Amino acid sequence: MTSGPDGPVARVELRGERDIAAARLAVTRAMNGMGARTLIRVRFVTAVSEIVRNAIMHGKGGELTVHVSADAREIRVCCIDSGPGIEDIDRALQDGFSTARSLGKGLGGARRLVDRFDIASAPGAGTRIEMTSRL
């Protein structure tokens, strides 16, 4: 299933809102292939939905890659966008913070749903989020 020790098993271009569903489907398929339990899959795919929507709505689109560890016990996604970047990451991760007309629970919520959450962003440099879930 892997295309290398930790190579991507799927790649989804994020251009429009239909790609949110495509990204969810790609991660769902990968996790089903790994035999992930329903709750673990639903939590992780929900987190993916949040960050991918952010990348499309605020980040002008980008790309999601899906990686499976060699022992198939861990799934990782990497979401990169080429948007304006996030000025204050700590603030963006707080519930209730939103620059759009949303609840502002997306990023902070995604972080709570995964085992590992790494975000790198700077104004003008886009945003890169990596999330990992153990099976």
Partner 1 sequence: MTAVHDAASVYMVENVLLIAIRDNITDTDIIGLQEELSERIVVEGARGIVIDIAALEIVDTFVGRILAQLSAIGHLLGAETYTVGMQPAVAMTLVELGMDFSGSRTALSLSHALRALKAKGLA
Q: Give contact residues for partner 1 (rule: CB under 8 A).
A: 17-18, 20-21, 24-25, 28, 38-39, 41-43, 45-46, 49-50, 53, 95, 102-103, 105-106, 108-109, 112-113
- 38 contacts 70 by C-beta, under 8 angstroms: no
How many angstroms separate the CA atoms of 20 and 35, rounded? 23
Q: How far is the CB of 6 from partner 1 (least distance, A)?
A: 25
CB nearer to partner 1: give 84 or 108. Answer: 108
CB nearer to partner 1: give 105 or 128. Answer: 105
Q: How far is the CB of 3 from partner 1 (least distance, A)?
A: 26
CB nearer to partner 1: give 1 or 18. Answer: 18
Q: How far is the CB of 124 from partner 1 (least distance, A)?
A: 26
Residues 6+ apart with CB under 8 A from 68: 1, 2, 6, 9, 30, 33, 34, 74, 75, 76
CB nearer to partner 1: give 2 or 46. Answer: 46
How many angstroms separate the CA atoms of 89 and 120, rounded? 8
State the DSSP string of 49-62. HHHHHHHHHTS--E
Q: How far is the CB of 75 from partner 1 (least distance, A)?
A: 15
Letter for the amino acid at 26?
A
